[in-house]
């Protein structure tokens, strides 16, 4: 799939939002990609995950692990496409990313870590650390949309369908805030101080 085709899917689904947003990373931006609006359509999610799997050709995995909430559907569908288990990690009471609900990883298992949109790669980095602490091997990192966070994993096999360079701002240096706008938070994760 070409970049414009993927971007067109996001536009058609109303998933490319413009305004003033508080991202999960704590940064502000004038653009937000709401992957849930795309993944609500199983046929589109399947199509995107098949393309992501093609970008991961040759990677053998036992499971795909994504972060709750945004990465759950993507991890499940990518796992279905490649014939692996689909798991997710979520935050425990201490805020640490962990496997719950009876999910487990065995030492030596080969894992793809998948996220819907990656801005800083923080959640994915936490999952990579937990996977490796369990003795499993991260064989690839994948996302639908890379807002720059994939560079954090440049030492690993990576795949994304869409790379975008929408500006992000620290809250105290945000020109949108200085202009009097207040950000909205369309994501699911609680951000300290909000």
Measured in degrees and rounded to the nearest 5, phi and psi for residue 168 equal -125, 155
* CA R_g for the chain: 16
Q: Can you say whether the dihedral through the CA atoms of 125, 128, 133, 139 is positive or negative?
A: negative
Tell me, what's the pLDDT at 192?
46
Q: Which two tokens stand for residue 3?
A: 């970049």
**8 Å CB contact between 34 and 145:** no
Beta strands in 92-157 (DSSP E): 97-99, 110-118, 137-146
Residues with Cβ within 8 Å of residue 157, at least 6 apart in sequence: 56, 59, 139, 140, 141
Tell me, what's the pLDDT at 70?
83
Q: Which two tokens stand for residue 99?
A: 């496997």
User: What residues does each domain of the chain span?
Assistant: 3-178
Q: Does 69 sit behind a cis peptide bond, omega within 30 degrees of 0 on the bond before it?
A: yes
Quick one: fold of 3-178? Rossmann fold (3.40.50)
pLDDT per residue of the chain (194 residues) written in tens, 0 to 9: 888 999 999 999 999 999 999 988 888 999 998 999 999 999 999 999 999 999 999 999 999 999 988 889 999 999 999 999 999 999 998 889 999 999 999 999 999 999 998 888 889 999 999 999 999 999 999 999 998 889 999 899 999 999 998 999 999 999 999 999 999 988 655 544 54
């Amino acid at each position: 799939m070409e970049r414009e085709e993927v971007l067109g899917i996001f536009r058609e689904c109303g998933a490319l939002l413009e305004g003033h947003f508080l991202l999960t990373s704590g940064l502000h931006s004038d653009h937000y990609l709401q992957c849930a609006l795309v993944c609500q359509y199983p046929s589109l999610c399947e199509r995107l995950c098949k393309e992501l799997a093609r970008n991961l050709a040759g990677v053998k995995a036992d499971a795909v692990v994504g972060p709750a909430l945004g990465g759950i559907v993507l991890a499940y569908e990518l796992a279905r496409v490649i014939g692996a288990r689909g798991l997710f990690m979520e935050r425990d009471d201490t805020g640490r990313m962990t496997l719950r609900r009876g999910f487990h990883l065995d030492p030596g298992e080969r894992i793809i870590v998948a996220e819907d949109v990656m801005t800083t790669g923080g959640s994915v980095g936490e999952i990579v650390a937990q996977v490796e602490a369990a003795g499993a091997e991260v064989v690839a990192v994948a996302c639908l949309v890379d807002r720059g966070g994939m560079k954090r994993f440049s030492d690993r096999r990576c795949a994304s369908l869409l790379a975008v360079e929408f500006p992000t701002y620290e809250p105290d240096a945000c020109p949108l805030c200085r202009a009097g706008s207040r950000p909205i938070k369309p994501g699911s994760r609680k951000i300290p101080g909000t």
